[in-house]
Structure 1
């Protein structure tokens, strides 16, 4: 059995070492649950020494990976997302304690929705974000609505959330957390041996994560920047003619999946996995 330079087991001789997967701590629209197995297999089959996610969201792919390189970077321009991960890594016990005080209540949901997150402490802001994402219908970020289940327990159960937070916090040990634009993140960490997994908003749904976080014109800028990459990349998007045209210079594979908000059924859909780089 091979070992990396730090003495960690490397059973496949790939430079990657085993890691226990964890569950994302909250639902997130576009969370890639249905494609995670395929994407993680593709990531783990691609040689790399540095792994970067410029759009980590709730880590739907990041946390489900079973092999990791020695260096990992996660990034999201959302202040709520970046703050949550920093608090999870640095103060998991205190965060779990705050989360445990929450109840599934429409009144509490409405109260948190009225709060300005920038006026809260970092821990309060993180607990608020977890609560809203776990309580909202379908993991929506923009235009959240209180979600009610009539076929089982409530969406928010403090003990379950606490266990997920602790497991995910353990996984974040040694991981660098950034809050950059996707373009600045790529520019900062691009080098030989780097692998970027990009999960931007779907084409046609650019404002689903907030009005000012991503614009449609950025897809063309992304294709141009990825064309100059020293490392490698894997990009997942919805299958649209515009997407195929913008990223036509790279390898594009269509994948059948399905879309559907929690409790709202599902409908067949197709996505593309785009691969390229140096």
Structure 2
């Protein structure tokens, strides 16, 4: 393990673990491991904020726009900043880029487009609305964004990027020294990240695969009776949180942090 400077996510993301990440990182860093793998990395809300770096780190997501952004941020950071340098915060530009097929763009242009949209979309959802309103400053500003990009670029050094189905990724990297952190779509929100990427039947498959895991895992998900039943063979830790959207009133919710008992025994 090597201590590193943590970084913040470069854009908001649905389910980005803004409230839960301190507890998750505490659990992760207390488990000895030599490789760290995230099958559902999203914008790296947990991955980037960790303070300790093992020998191998793997970021995976089925969303190719995410992996392309991180790969460009790692390998072509100066060019990415140059592409974004003269970008303006504009509803018309937001709508134009959202309507643009990313397949028609270069990888560099795709990364800049995705980051721009993620920064300006309400709630971090590109298919939502332009997230600028009266009395608030826009999230897209290169002056504010550059320090975040600098830190993320440094933190991504040496990271392996994959874009596989989670069930294919886990066996590829499973060893007795591996630690997986899983942040799958919430139960009841399986289609929130795109149709066809995840369905409800995969929770049962996940419990089965994790039950045969050689390494350790930490999984976070919303509290639902069906999830408790499927993962009853593991250690389940309930966590109460308050979520807010924009300036709205807080909503109480309960999350579950689930781990295999072999890994958790090392914490006791």
Q: Which moved more, 1:266-275 or 1:145-154?
A: 145-154
2:94 and 2:66 mapped to 1: Cα distance?
A: 18
Q: Report the 3-state secondary structure (helix = DSSP H, G, I; strand = E; otherwise coil) of the residue aligned with 2:221.
A: strand
Which residue number corresponds to residue 40 of structure 1?
25
- How far apart, in 1, do the equivalents of 2:137 and 2:215 lie? 45
Please tell me whether residue 158 in structure 1 is matched to residue 137 in structure 2. no
Q: Could you list the per-position Cα deviations for residues 34-88 of structure 1 after superposition, in whole angstroms to 9, with x for gaps in the alignment?
A: 0111100110000101100000000000111111212111110101001111101
Candidates 191, 200, 207, aligned match of 2:184: 200
Instruction: Count matched residues.
Output: 262
CA distance in 2, matches of 1:98, 1:165: 14
Q: Could you tell me which of 106, 118, 121 is aligned with 2:91?
A: 106
Paired residues of 1:228 and 1:277 also in contact (CA < 8 A): no
Answer whether contact 1:98 1:127 (CA < 8 A) is retained: yes
- Look up the match of 2:8: 23
* CA–CA distance in structure 2, aligned partners of residues 64 and 149 of structure 1: 29
2:124 to 114, 139, 153: 139
Q: 1:170 aligns with which of 143, 154, 164?
A: 154
Is 1:236 matched up with 2:206? no
What TM-score does the superposition give when structure 2 sets the normalisation length?
Answer: 0.95
Distance (whole Å) between structure 2 residues aligned to residue 228 and residue 277 of structure 1: 12
Residues 1:124 and 2:121 are matched in the alignment: no
Q: Which runs of 5+ in 1 are unaligned?
A: 1-15
Query: How many Å separate the matches in 2 of 1:76 and 1:231?
Result: 20
Residue number in structure 2 paired with 1:211 = 195
Q: Distance in 2 between matches of 1:89 and 1:263?
A: 34
Q: Which secondary structure state, in structure 2, belongs to the residue aligned with residue 62 of structure 1? A: coil
Aligned residue among 76, 86, 105 for 1:91: 76
Task: Confirm or deny: 8 A CA contact 1:231 1:277 kept in the other structure.
Answer: no
CA contact (8 A) 1:230 1:277 kept: no
Q: CA deviation at 1:101?
A: 2.2
Instruction: Give the CA RMSD over aligned residues.
Output: 1.2
Distance 2:243 2:159 in 1: 30
After superposition, give the CA deviation of every residue in 1:156-180 in whole Å (9 maximum; x if it has no partner): 1122222211210110001101111
What's the counterpart of residue 10 of structure 1? Answer: none
- Check the 8 A contact 2:238/2:255 in 1, yes or no: yes
Identify the structure with bigger relative contact order (alpha carbons < 8 Å, sequence gap 6+): 2
How far does residue 273 in structure 1 lie from its aligned partner after superposition?
0.1
Alpha-carbon offset, residue 23 of structure 1? 0.9
The CA deviation string for residues 136-163 of structure 1, in whole angstroms up to 9 with x for no partner, is 001124x321111322321211222222
Q: Distance in 1 between matches of 2:88 and 2:250?
A: 29
Which ranges of structure 2 fall in alignment gaps of 5 or more residues?
A: 263-268
